[in-house]
Structure 1
Amino acid sequence: MSEDGWIEHGTKAPAFTLASDEGDKIRLADLKGGPVVLYFYPKDDTPGCTKEACAFRDASAALAKAGAKVFGVSPDDAASHAKFREKYHLNFPLLIDPEHKVAEKYGAWREKNMYGKKSWGIQRCTYLIDADGKVAKLWKRVKVEGHETQVLEALAQLRSE
């Protein structure tokens, strides 16, 4: 992990096992062999998080063509995730990290400062993990607009290496 708490490019991604909104246990170790897009977002059914999730949903054919599996991670519970997925017809699992342990491992759980008020929460970020389980790319403080395109470009670059 770097001095600023993010996982550096080329570093082995931290292992995790999280429940999905469908009740499955998702283990990073089981996903080796293909790229993984692991994105952390603050809260289900809020404007930015909805826009980001729907962009990944709409890019699903291109993501699948690149062999990538997409997972969204937030502290929301299974019921909230299931409602969010159903409402927006999301076609990828949402992982439940209520105690933000995985978010902490990945540096996504951070102190935020909004109008002088400090609080802790998820810093929107995305990790692209390669087929060997190493961090291929990290987007910190993601701007939602066009982010799925950045991820697809990085996947294309990863395939050409």
Structure 2
Amino acid sequence: MTTQDERLGEVTEVADGVQVQFRRSWPDPVADVWSALTDPDRTARWFGTYDGERRVGGSGTLTMTHEEGASREPMRIVECDPPRRLVVRWESEQAWRIELDLAEEQGRTVLVFTQVFPPGTDAGDYVLGWHWYLDKFGAEVSGAPGPGDWDTFLAATGPAYGRPAG
């Protein structure tokens, strides 16, 4: 069983900025976890939709449907090595790069989520947001209940990141 502390993201200073990293695992096969990351029907349930080319170098629009106002962002697929690695880059002024790596360890599929922000970034709100999305992702993989709405999640999880509960 995963405890709350094991689900927390780590924020560390690295040479090129501030790194946010999460490590999550499930007893499900790598192929199923990969499907939850990339299958359009499944990603819509936990994150959003992607309309565009589904290949390395392909670009399109990501609509984060679980955000207030359903933000639309241009996105590019930087790397894709099914079912092990997916790297995407937001092509907006934020220019975010997200790395998603899957591996099997001791009969479990492990996801390592990594994002590096520019030096000096206060990553507190970002780490909370990704934690919420990864809890939603975990619910999609396992069929367990999700984290609930944002306010409920923030009240329960915000203090672990030094943020007020609401």
Question: Shorter-chain-normalised TM-score: which range?
Answer: 0.3 to 0.5
| Larger Rg, first or second structure (1 or 2) | 2
Q: Determine which structure has the larger strand proportion and give its number.
A: 2
Q: Which has the higher contact order (CA 8 A, sep 6+)?
A: 1
Q: TM-score, normalised by structure 2?
A: 0.33
What TM-score comes out, normalization by structure 1 length? 0.34
